[in-house]
């Protein structure tokens, strides 16, 4: 009951925020442009145009959505008041994380409207499309956990955005730089980068190692966020 009340509060806070809808609308406009560009100019009945830019888009948009969830409460001192209530630090972190995930899923679900167009103009592989959306979902919620950790470190939304973006960009750039490394290291690095697992999944190949990887990264940053709150309370 206590956790449900926290989650309800966070959902109201996010869904009543005009900034979330502005960011979501911009996100949908950009993904729609890349989708139609691939569909009508390249003449490919698939989500490839949208998928190619998705890691970069989410790198900007999800820290922007998540940057205020803890930083704002620190700034107005409501977080300290919240931590004096009979709630656990992990409940606070998890409620904010799940509320952000729900908002992301809501925005992402609107892109499902692209699918009837694909089936009208071609014969896309349903299994690949499911893998595509699962890959986007896992990448997105992992970005959210990282951004939430960044928000726990500061009372400034701008700093939270920069820190969250920087951590995500570090994961991104390692994947891109692996091509200049010795061949022996490339496969090893690919196993520990988010983009490596994401690219495997958008090809329709979903393995247990991909699910375990994203689950572990999410758990790590949620635990780090909880640790920061524990230290703050202490």
Each of the 234 residues of the chain gets a pLDDT tens digit; together they read 677 888 888 888 888 888 888 888 899 899 888 888 777 776 666 777 788 889 889 999 999 988 888 877 777 667 666 666 677 888 888 989 999 999 999 999 998 888 888 888 777 777 888 888 999 999 999 999 999 999 999 888 899 999 999 999 988 887 767 666 666 666 667 677 788 888 888 887 778 888 999 999 999 999 999 998 888 766
Torsion of CA 216, 230, 89, 211, to 10 degrees: 0
Cα–Cα distance, 194 to 186 (Å, whole number) = 14
Domain of residue 203, residue span = 2-233
Report how many domains make up the chain: 1
**Is pTM, for the whole model, over 0.85?**
yes
Alpha carbon distances (Å) from 73 to 31, 68, 82, 200: 31, 8, 9, 38
Task: Dig out the tokens for 26 from the structure.
Answer: 């911009």
Nearest to 125 by CA among 113, 115, 137, 135: 115
């Amino acid at each position: 009951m206590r956790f449900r009340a926290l989650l309800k509060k966070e959902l109201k806070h996010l869904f009543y925020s005009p900034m979330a809808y502005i960011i979501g609308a911009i996100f949908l406009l950009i993904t729609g442009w890349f989708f139609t560009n691939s569909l009508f100019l390249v003449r490919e009945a698939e989500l490839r145009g949208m998928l190619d830019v998705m890691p970069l888009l989410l790198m900007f948009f999800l820290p922007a959505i998540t940057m205020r969830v803890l930083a704002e409460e620190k700034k107005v001192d409501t977080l300290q008041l919240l931590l004096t209530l009979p709630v656990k630090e992990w409940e606070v972190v998890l409620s904010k994380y799940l509320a952000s995930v729900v908002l992301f899923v809501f925005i992402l679900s609107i892109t499902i409207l692209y699918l009837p167009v694909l089936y009208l103009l071609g014969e896309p592989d349903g299994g690949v499309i499911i893998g595509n959306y699962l890959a986007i979902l896992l990448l997105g919620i992992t970005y959210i956990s990282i951004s939430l950790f960044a928000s726990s470190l500061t009372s400034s939304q701008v700093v939270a955005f920069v820190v969250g973006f920087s951590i995500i960009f570090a994961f991104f750039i390692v994947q891109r730089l692996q091509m200049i490394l010795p061949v022996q290291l490339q496969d090893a690095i690919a196993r520990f980068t988010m983009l490596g697992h994401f690219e495997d999944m958008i090809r329709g190949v979903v393995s247990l190692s991909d699910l375990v990887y994203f689950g572990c990264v999410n758990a790590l940053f949620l635990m780090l966020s909880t640790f920061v709150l524990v230290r703050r309370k202490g």
